[in-house]
């Protein structure tokens, strides 16, 4: 059966220090929940993640409540350009949908369309990878689906994520 799970064994990736980027990484709580909801709503094609801003706000609140798993604050982050939040990665301790899947799980990665191509998504995923690796986790996983852009799939593959069989 085909899998919609990608997994990366850790540690395999180190942050590139030679590339100049306008993107800085900050903690998830550096951005307001309203800013995160706006980025979440604008970062996905209409109807994929949220139908409107009210449902985007509820999704972000549900994430912080732990409805999708216990957040790993150390691995979650926001990307900033010119002192403005432009994207986020949200990581939980483990997938609540896949009890058999061990290790941290990326539940969301989103970047505002206007800021794509600057390396924000890569910087966010690298932050999650490196944080989990330093914490001693053996792997990090994520799911992909209709809301996963070809650019995001290319990013995951370039970082070494591979298809992982379902249980």
Encode pLDDT of 15-74 as tens digits.
554 467 899 999 999 889 999 999 999 998 887 889 999 999 999 999 999 999 999 999
- Phi, psi (deg, nearest 5) at residue 92: -110, 165
- What is the rounded average pLDDT for all residues in the chain? 90
Q: What is the pLDDT of residue 2?
A: 47
Return the pLDDT at 14: 56
Q: What's the number of CA atoms in the CB half-sphere (13 Å) around residue 61? A: 7
Domain regions of the chain by residue span: 5-163
pLDDT of 98-115, one tens digit each? 989 999 999 999 999 999
146 confidence band (pLDDT: 50, 70, 90): confident
What is residue 110's three-state secondary structure? strand
The CATH architecture that domain 5-163 belongs to is 3-Layer(aba) Sandwich (3.40)
Confidence of residue 4 (pLDDT cuts 50, 70, 90): confident
- 16: three-class secondary structure by DSSP: coil
Strand partners, 8: 140
Q: Looking at the predicted structure, is the pLDDT value of residue 147 above 80? A: no
Q: How far apart, in Å, are the Cα atoms of 153 and each of 29, 50, 63, 81, 122? A: 26, 21, 23, 23, 11
Lowest-confidence segment of 70-84, 88-102, 133-147 by average pLDDT: 133-147
SS3 of residue 30 by DSSP: helix
């Amino acid at each position: 059966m085909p899998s919609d799970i990608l997994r990366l064994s850790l540690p395999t990736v180190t942050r590139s220090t030679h590339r100049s980027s306008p993107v800085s990484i900050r903690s998830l709580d550096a951005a307001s929940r309203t800013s995160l909801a706006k980025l979440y709503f604008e970062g996905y094609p209409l109807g994929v993640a949220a139908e409107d801003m009210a449902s985007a706000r509820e999704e972000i609140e549900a994430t912080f409540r732990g409805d999708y798993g216990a957040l790993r604050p150390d691995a979650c982050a926001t990307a900033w350009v010119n002192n403005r939040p432009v994207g986020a990665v949200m990581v939980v301790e483990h997938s609540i949908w896949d009890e058999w899947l061990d290790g941290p799980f990326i539940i969301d990665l989103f970047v505002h369309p206007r800021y794509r191509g600057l390396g924000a998504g890569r910087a966010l995923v690298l932050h999650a990878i490196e944080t989990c690796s330093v914490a001693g986790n053996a792997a990090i996983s994520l799911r992909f689906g209709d809301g996963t852009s070809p650019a995001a799939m290319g990013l995951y593959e370039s970082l070494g994520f591979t298809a992982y069989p379902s249980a």
